[in-house]
Amino acid sequence: MTLDPPRLRRSPQLAALDVLVNAAETAIVALCAAHPRIEHTLSHDPKPAIDHLADHVVERAMATLEALDHYRILLDDIQRLDTAPMIEGDFTF
């Protein structure tokens, strides 16, 4: 996501979120490269402890990315509502 100054003035938290997204994506790629077993579903094959921990971190990083996406979507929705022109007959409660 490319952040421009006007957008950052409206939502400065996006800069920190962008850094977090990049760090999480980098961690996922690095962990998958270091532990190729975690990229596959191993139904009954016991994982070594380090592979299990790496898999856990990847799952949490993926959940974090999903939460950040939801946050950005909601933030965009709120900003669209704030800047949307009122149409005659609209009622705000």
Write down the domain spans for the chain.
Answer: 12-80
**Structure-token pair, residue 74:** 């909601």
How far apart CA 11 and CA 7 sit, in angstroms, is 6
How far apart CA 52 and CA 85 sit, in angstroms, is 52
Give the pLDDT confidence of 13-52 residue by residue, as tens digits.
989 999 999 999 999 999 999 998 887 765 556 667 888 8
Mean local confidence (pLDDT), 54-81:
92
Reply yes or no on whether the pLDDT at 7 is more than 90.
no
∠ at Cα 66 (41, 35), nearest 5°?
Answer: 35
Contact between 8 and 14 under an 8 Å Cβ cutoff? The reply is yes
pTM beyond 0.75: the answer is no
